[in-house]
């Protein structure tokens, strides 16, 4: 059986695409399922078990000794095992007399305890406790395992939206992200056109400097940049902690990659088209606005997605250049605050994180038809 070698690249590309989709969808599905699970269920098992009943081990007390009844068998306590909130348990799968061994007996069996008392627990959590001697004081503890059915709740979302002040943080993040995305895209588009179609002294050296900036780590430049911005703030009388600073920081860190991608894309556009427009008397600005920008939409969309995601998910730059007041704290910082100093409220991260990815998903799906085309073109053309 012969194999058409010309179809192999397409097959591997399709398989790689399917694998990438699965790798992206599975964590997203897990995050959503976790966001609608109960806190105790999250702590007990992974999200992939959410649709199955889970085994929980706990204990409950019988009724107090005052409710015992004397019979021919002895002193008897009967009732239903309930939680602290008064909710009856169900689906009991085993029970025992100690916490170390709650699987001593199956539902319906009679278990003889060390002191000679007899205990019977049924699957519906009804119990019968029999003692030869009169019982006194509080009820007896019964340890048992029960099947907890799959329970889904919106409590995590309610806690995040009502107690976490997520709404204001969401608006603050928009106030940071939109300008910090639009400004570098516009500047990079102008710069990329100049590097591609305008001739001026030192053009290649300047472009090489831009490429060199791609390797500058963000973390090492934050402190000098903040110090410079603070000095300028003292000199000109503006606040060092504010939206302008974080916009400029994201613009500076995003420009090198934006200029690189867009310049490579614009450089690959038909030269005859630009030359014809120049012969007809069009200025560089007219060529840029009427020809280059419409043709460069894939590259613009590609970097817009990158920059939007980077800024939206940023925590470090926002903490350095923004205050922690209610009118400035961003979504990532607010979720970090909700987690608590000891991480005791980690379950809110599932619902909070899912809320935070809704807008980036909308942006991605709105621009995804341009994404691959613009990214590949901007990466391979020189």
Domain spans of the chain, in order of start: 54-148, 164-380
Q: Is the alpha carbon torsion for 97, 102, 105, 110 positive or negative?
A: positive
Distance CA 354, CA 271 (A): 46
Instruction: Identify the residue whose tokens are 């590949």.
Output: 376
DSSP E strands, 272-375: none
Q: How many residues does the chain have?
A: 382
Strand order, beta sheet including 54-61: 54-61, 141-148, 92-96
Distance CA 306, CA 181 (A): 9
* Cβ(375)–Cβ(261) below 8 Å: yes
**What value, to the nearest 5°, has the Cα angle with vertex 206 and ends 205 and 208?**
65
Structure tokens at 61: 């007390």
DSSP bridge partners of 121: 127
Distance CA 65, CA 105 (A): 24
Distance CA 5, CA 217 (A): 43
Structure tokens at 233: 């703030």
Note the CATH architecture for domain 164-380.
Orthogonal Bundle (1.10)
Task: State whether residue 57 is helix, strand or coil.
Answer: strand
For residue 351, what are the contacts with CB-CB under 8 A and spacing of at least 6? 35, 36, 156, 157, 159, 160
Distance CA 273, CA 287 (A): 9
Residue-level pLDDT, tens digit, the chain, 382 residues: 444 555 656 677 778 878 888 888 888 888 888 888 877 777 767 788 878 777 778 888 888 888 889 988 899 999 998 887 778 888 899 998 888 888 889 999 999 988 889 999 998 989 999 998 888 888 888 999 888 777 788 888 887 877 767 888 888 999 999 999 999 999 999 999 999 888 888 888 998 998 888 888 877 787 788 788 777 777 766 666 788 888 988 998 899 999 998 898 888 888 888 888 888 888 888 999 888 988 888 888 888 888 999 999 988 888 888 877 777 888 888 888 777 655 556 677 788 888 888 888 888 888 777 665 555 554 444 4
Neighbours of 191 (CB within 10 A): 19
Helix axis angle, 155-163 to 348-380, nearest 10°: 80
Distance CA 133, CA 317 (A): 71
358-382 exposure pattern, b = at least 16 Cβ within 10 A, e = fewer: ebeeebeeebeebbeebbebbeeee
pTM: 0.68
Distance CA 39, CA 300 (A): 42
Identify the DSSP state of 294: H
């Amino acid at each position: 059986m012969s194999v058409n070698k010309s179809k192999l690249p397409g097959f591997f590309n399709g398989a790689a695409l399917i694998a990438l989709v699965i790798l992206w969808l599975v964590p997203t599905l897990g995050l959503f399922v976790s966001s609608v699970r109960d806190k105790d269920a999250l702590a007990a098992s992974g999200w992939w078990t959410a649709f199955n009943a889970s085994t929980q081990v706990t204990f409950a007390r019988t009724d107090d000794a005052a409710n015992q009844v004397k019979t021919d068998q002895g002193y008897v306590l009967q009732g239903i095992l309930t939680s602290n909130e008064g909710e009856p348990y169900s689906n009991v799968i085993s029970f025992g007399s100690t916490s170390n061994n709650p699987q001593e007996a199956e539902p319906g069996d009679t278990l003889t305890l060390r002191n000679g008392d007899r205990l019977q627990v049924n699957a519906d959590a009804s119990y019968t406790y029999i003692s030869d001697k009169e019982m006194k004081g509080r009820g007896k503890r019964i340890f048992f395992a029960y099947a907890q059915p799959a329970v889904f709740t919106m409590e995590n979302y309610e806690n995040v939206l009502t107690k976490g002040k997520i709404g204001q943080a969401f608006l603050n993040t928009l106030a940071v992200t939109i300008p910090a995305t639009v400004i570098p895209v516009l500047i990079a588009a102008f710069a990329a056109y100049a590097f591609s179609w305008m001739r001026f002294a030192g053009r290649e050296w300047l472009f090489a400097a831009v490429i060199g900036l791609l390797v500058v780590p963000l973390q090492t430049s934050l402190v000098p940049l903040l110090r410079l911005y603070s000095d300028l703030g003292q000199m000109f009388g503006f606040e060092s902690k504010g939206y302008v600073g974080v916009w400029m920081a994201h613009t500076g860190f995003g420009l090198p990659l934006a200029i690189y991608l867009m310049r490579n894309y614009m450089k690959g556009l038909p030269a005859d088209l630009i030359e014809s427009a120049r012969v007809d008397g069009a200025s560089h600005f007219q060529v840029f606005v009427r020809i280059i920008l419409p043709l460069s939409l894939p590259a613009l969309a590609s970097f817009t997605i990158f920059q939007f995601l980077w800024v939206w998910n940023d925590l470090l730059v926002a903490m350095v250049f923004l205050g922690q007041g209610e009118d400035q704290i961003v979504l990532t910082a607010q979720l970090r605050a909700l987690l608590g100093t000891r991480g005791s409220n980690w379950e809110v991260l599932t619902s909070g994180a899912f809320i935070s990815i809704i807008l980036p998903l909308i942006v991605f799906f709105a621009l995804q038809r341009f994404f691959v085309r613009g990214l590949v073109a901007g990466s391979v053309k020189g």
